[in-house]
Chains A and B, each alone.
Chain A
Amino acid sequence: MHAFRFRQLFAALLLLGGLATLLVSIVRGAHLERADFVFVNGAEVSSLDPASVSGVPEGRVMYSLYEGLTSRDPRTLAPLPGMADRWEVSPDGITYTFHIRDDARWSNGDPLTARDFEWSWQRLLHPETASEYSYQLWYLENARAYSFLPMDLGDEERWWFDSRTFVNWNADGSRVRVGVHGFSGLSPTDAAAADAVQAVRARLDAAGAELRANPTPDASDPYGAGWLFEGSLEAPALEAALPSPFLPEPRAREELFWPQVGARATDEHTFVVTLASPTPFFLTLTSFYPLMPTHRATWEWARETYPGTWQIEWISPEHLVTNGPFVLESRRINDRIRLRKNPLYWDAENVAFRTIDVLAVEHYVTMLNMYLTGQVDWIDRCAPNLIPRMMPREDFNPESYLGTYFYRVNVHRPPLDDKRVRRALALTINRRAICEKIMKKGEKPLYSLCPDGLPGYPRPEMRHTPFAPDFSDYDAAFARDCDEARRLLAEAGFGPGGKDIPSIEIHYNTSESHRDIAEVIADTWKRELDVDARLLNQEWKVYLDTQNTINFDVSRSAWIGDYPDPNTFVDLFVTGGENNRTGWGNPRYDELVASAAEESDPTRRLALLAEAEAILLDELPILPIYSYVSQNIVNPRLGGFFPNVMDDHFPKFWYWMSDEELAEKRAAQPADWILVPAPGPAAGLFAPAGPPPYSLSGGTQR
């Protein structure tokens, strides 16, 4: 009996003791002192490799860890010196010469040179990297073709290249194709292309192949290399027939083609970029994170040390070498990224915070709780139901930025194939109700694709009755728009005396505010136009699939600009573009967008884009609804944090205001704002070694 009880007791003690030991051992070492600045960054970042990320949370970390050739003014986003301290632009806007600063260093002390940029850009473009944002470099000469170099697809596909032509065959040679590749500058549909492949063709024919002409060479072949002839030939005979350079190795292909891409380090400090056509926003792109450099030696070391594994060792906190204002100290997935000031950064004396914690928290209420209890200093969104309570506070100041909320319309489904119907639907959206009753943060009603705030852009709008910005005469204007809509429907043969309008399905991804907006719109359409609208919500990835296959009537959409230029919006709707997703296409539109890309005069270029957008707003494959505002809730003591049109924020410039500076700031703000606690060091945290960094003068432009 006693022994039995002992066993029981022992088991219980063992269990409890085990649990306690486990707990202590797990928790020990997990604790970190609070960083100088802590912010919530939304979802966990998908990577710390600038070449394989896209997304706002990732961007914030990239702007801390890395720096591109240029950086951005936190207010205007105008280019500031970065790794390049000056640059020259040729008069035709094609050639950029960047001079890398003498004190540019990697965080391990290695000098950072122009060659690092050349290598990093090659890596971004390389098909093996499969970077989502490789297209940000396609403005470079031949860069697009380089991205489309066929990957080594094993035994399935073999390739041979010379300067203009390619031969592609499968392992047994039963299918041989000959064509011109993307670097040749030839379109496969040109007559000159056929001449270019004659020599190769003759060799293959002489070796016994019988090549037939391809009746429909396709210029839109994704490799940029439509094939012109096809036939068959035994593989050994074929390989014997082809003169060198015979290039089975991907590495050898790189050596042949990389020199043709317009990115060249002419010496350690000079980086020359040749663009395919003048790109006025190119200096903004060079500060964008995909174009930031990565440390070649670490990357190659990891490749050799850990062959054939999925481990990405060069990016682990022990090994990652970066060149930005901060370095990576530690990282725990779904928890935090701890950044530490990089003492080797060229402008380190103007970086205030010694440590920054970047937290991965997705839950609206959780992040607000953390902010309200002082655990974090900045959160980037506000739970929708709390907006009215947050609005009067001094730490919540929504500002417009380049984001558009709109509905895509499937222009091939009746009755939406009639542009009068689309126009009627676009007019009959009560944008005031959506902005004021649902969104509530001061969103602006939108009648165009591009939102307001694009410098110098003569933004067109779809035809509608104008109203005052404070909505005082909105109802009358909206009533007139509804009359016009009814007239348009009647003209299209619908409504009283005409056909009944088939019901329309509004498709959106599952979310409360999307549903509310869809309900308001469906309701208005029913009341004003007698159009039946059903709602269909889908889980995010299913919704994307539906949208990509254009299997909807009307589908909720949004677009956030990549860079402050209308091109980032207008470019979406070129015929067949992968982000078009409406089935709409207009040759004149495509032509205008293409000629804008070639135009070197900035004013004329913007006029061309505006003309294109006007076509879009006349045909309306989209129903514009409102433009976005930011929802930052930020500790009032934070300095160096400014609203801007991209809602981009750069940790390099942040600092804690002293009590005096905070008082000064509060004196300047509207008196009816509710003051909130502003925790932080009362004496401020900023090394006032130089002038405020954002007032540095920019580069020289010739």
Chain B
Amino acid sequence: MIGFLARRFLWFVLTLWAVVTVSFFLMHSVRGGPFSAERSLHPVVERNLKARYHLDWPLWKQYLQYVGPLNLDDRGPELLGGDGTQPFTGVLAGDLGPSFKYRDYTVNEIIAQSLPISVALGAVAMLFAICLGISAGILSALYRGGTVDLAMRLVATAGIALPNFVIAGILILAFVFGAHLFPVAGWGTLRHLVLPGLALGAPFAAYISRLTRTGMLEVLSQDHIRTAHAKGLPPRLVLLRHAIKGGLLPVVTYLGPATAGILTGSLVIEKIFAIPGTGSHFVNSALNRDYTLAMGVTILYTVLVYALNLVVDLAYTLLDPRIDLEKG
């Protein structure tokens, strides 16, 4: 177990370094900068702005300053508005820098404000995906070939085929303008999260229901289930005690990618439902050439996806003792 974790950590560090390096140089090689605007800055003002954010340095030096941990800025923090020098800086010191676009915030502050909201949205979406997906899958498997099965599979196919913003539109029409049940957009209460959570979770619910159905069908046809039935166990118990466990293994496997998908999928949903999460920054920061914020969000997502995959791997051992991480 320890060896496994150590290996994964090593890979994690390598991956993160690669992501930081590649996105840093990609980001800076794109045309246009954070301060270009329809109203051009006076060249002197632009020079002063760039000097404040080190954008006048050669790129390699900007990179070293960004990664840290040593502060290469020998001008002292005069420009930042203080007088003591700060020896450590950069990503390695946990400092993601100032946002170029949202001048009142550091990237750390922006992430601290927006990430919990994205997490809440993701959690709701995940709850919907798991609850709806698993129940639909089990129903389908139990009534295999029947009308229920057909209906569920049809809905699931639609859920996979339709992009989440289309689902969002349908939900808004039905539950805001049709049934006046939920607010159309915004953030503040759990009610605000229902529709976006549903729209975001729907495609994943559809996948999960398919996986559950397949898994359940496979398990249900196995010998030990037939034996259980033959022993005279009530069908409910057979299902709960013997079938679900095996039938859900593929679902657990899928949870890792699903979480990653929900995280990155939230950017569209956050925009449609005006939810102030991290997802919207992912797109906007790139469009604004807000280098630090774009880098910060990229790093954040890398860490999250990596960590979640690790959790899923660990969860395997819990569910299926046959899986041995040391060998895997």
Which A residues are closer than 8 A to B by beta carbons? 4-5, 7-8, 11, 16, 19, 22-23, 26-27, 30-32, 44, 46-49, 52-54, 127-128, 130-132, 134-135, 147-148, 151-155, 222-223, 250, 302-304, 306-312, 315-316, 332-335, 359-363, 365-367, 369-370, 372-373, 375, 539-542, 544-545, 548, 558-559, 578-579, 581
Contact = CB atoms under 8 A, between A and B. Distances in A.
Contacts of B82: 303-304, 306-309
B185 to A, nearest CB: 5
A22 B120 contact: yes
B114 A23 contact: no
Contacts of B276: 332-335, 360
Interface string B151-189: 000000000000000000000100011000001111111
B81 A47 contact: no
Given A11-B318, A307-B83, A27 B120 contact: yes
B233 interface: no
A8 B176 CA distance: 39
B185 A369 contact: yes
B193 interface: yes
Contacts of B40: 548, 578-579, 581
B186 A375 contact: yes
A581 B40 CA distance: 10
B114 A222 contact: no
B123 A309 contact: no
Contacts of B47: 222
A548 B41 CA distance: 11
A30 B188 contact: yes
Given A26-B117, A310-B80, A369-B184, A333 B105 contact: yes
Given A31-B189, A334-B281, A373-B176, A11 B102 contact: no
Contact of B84 (A48, A308, A335): A308
Interface string B50-75: 01100000000000000000000011
Contacts of B281: 334
A363 B280 CA distance: 11
A578 B37 contact: no
B100 to A, nearest CB: 9
Contacts of A23: 120, 123-124, 190, 193
Given A222-B43, A250-B78, A541-B32, A46 B176 contact: no
A369 B177 CA distance: 9
B36 A155 contact: no
B274 A7 contact: no
Given A7-B318, A32-B188, A54-B39, A307 B77 contact: yes
Nearest to B36: A544
Q: Closest 10 CB pairs between A and B?
A: A307-B82, A541-B32, A308-B77, A335-B276, A310-B98, A130-B48, A334-B276, A47-B103, A308-B86, A578-B40
Interface string B20-51: 00000000001111001111111111011101
Contact of B172 (A131, A359, A361, A369): A369
A5 B244 CA distance: 11
6 contacts: A23-B120, A128-B79, A359-B186, A363-B274, A366-B185, A548-B40
B247 interface: no
Contacts of B184: 366, 369-370, 372-373, 375
A47 B78 contact: no
A8 B187 contact: no
A26 B120 CA distance: 7
Contact of A154 (B37, B75, B95, B104): B75
Given A541-B33, A578-B41, A130 B109 contact: no
Interface in B213-231: none
A361 B104 contact: no
Contacts of A369: 172, 176, 184-185
A26 to B, nearest CB: 4
A48 B105 CA distance: 11
Given A127-B48, A312-B103, A332-B276, A302 B81 contact: yes
Nearest to A21: B123
B144 interface: no
Contacts of B44: 127, 147-148, 222-223
A350 to B, nearest CB: 30
B185 A361 contact: yes
A32 B120 CA distance: 17
Contacts of A544: 32, 36-38
Interface residues of B, number: 81
Interface in B4-27: none
A44 to B, nearest CB: 7
B270 to A, nearest CB: 9
B104 A49 contact: yes
B70 to A, nearest CB: 14
A315 B98 CA distance: 14
Given A310-B98, A334-B281, A370-B274, A548 B120 contact: no
B117 to A, nearest CB: 7
User: Of residues B80, B117, B281, B315, which shows the largest number of chain A Cβ atoms within 10 Å of its Cβ?
Assistant: B80
A8 B318 contact: yes
A123 B80 CA distance: 14
Contact of A19 (B126, B188, B189, B245): B126
B119 interface: yes
Given A22-B120, A307-B84, A548-B36, 10 more contacts: A19-B123, A23-B193, A47-B103, A304-B82, A334-B281, A363-B271, A366-B271, A375-B185, A540-B32, A542-B32
A152 B78 contact: yes
A600 B267 CA distance: 55
A306 B321 CA distance: 53
A363 B275 CA distance: 11
User: Of residues A147, A333, A578, which shows the largest number of chain B Cβ atoms within 10 Å of its Cβ?
Assistant: A333
User: Of residues A54, A152, A335, A548, which shows the largest number of chain B Cβ atoms within 10 Å of its Cβ?
Assistant: A335
Contacts of B201: none
A362 B51 contact: no
A11 B103 contact: no
B106 interface: yes
Contact of A363 (B79, B272, B287): B272
B188 A26 contact: no
A5 B280 CA distance: 41
A483 to B, nearest CB: 36
A459 B126 CA distance: 61
Contacts of A367: 274
B201 to A, nearest CB: 12
B137 interface: no
Contacts of A333: 102, 105, 109-110, 113-114, 276
B307 interface: no
Contact of B189 (A30, A155, A541): A30
Contacts of B39: 54, 132, 579
B42 A578 contact: yes
B101 A303 contact: no
A581 B38 CA distance: 11
B91 interface: no
A53 B35 CA distance: 12
A384 B161 CA distance: 28
Contacts of B245: 5, 8
Nearest to B101: A46
A298 B109 CA distance: 20
Contacts of A16: 127
Given A303-B81, A540-B287, A22 B48 contact: no
Contacts of B271: 362-363, 366
B104 A309 contact: no
Contacts of A539: 287
B97 interface: yes
Nearest to B87: A308
Nearest to B292: A310
Nearest to B77: A308
Nearest to B124: A23
Contacts of B207: none
A545 B36 contact: yes
B273 interface: yes
